[in-house]
Amino acid sequence: MKRISIDEYFLKIAAVVAERSTCRRRRVGAVAVLDKQILSTGYNGAAAKTKDCLELGCLREENSIPSGKMHEVCRAIHAEQNTIIQGCLHGVSLSGATIYCTHTPCILCAKMLVNAKIKRYVSYQNYSESEFEELFKEAEIDFEILKRPSSEISFLD
């Protein structure tokens, strides 16, 4: 049996976090990590204590809005945004952290991640836009797309 890499380990955790998503179009999960320790997690979904798309339906689908456009017409807060918010709520700085996320970021999340001073962003799936790449390059944030991790969990019996 081969041991999974640390990147695969945290990408798998991000995929599990995405299972909490209340988005009907795309489930996204993110994990902020520093020195192999999880700092915070987030998934895409409606603001706390408000009704979500699973209950009310998707505004973007109802209005035929393509992925990556008009982010403001959505009930959801993105996974990366929720990761930053959770860090703030619990007094945890993400400065120098790596973000492991199931998808690459939209430009709005990328700007927030730059200001949160993350150092690295790792994903296994592209979102519908790529504007973040130039911003990450300018802000010196390392960016990698890795192979999607196996959904299989191996146990030793």
Please indicate whether residue 80 is annotated as part of the active site: yes
Contacts of 1 (CB under 8 A, 6+ apart): 154, 156
> Choosing from 80, 133, 144, 152, which is the catalytic residue?
80
Closest CA to 143 of 101, 108, 115: 101
* Contact (Cβ atoms closer than 8 angstroms) between residue 126 and residue 144: no
Burial class from Cβ neighbours inside 10 Å (0-12, 13-18, 19+) for residue 25 reads: middle
Give me the active site residues, please: 80
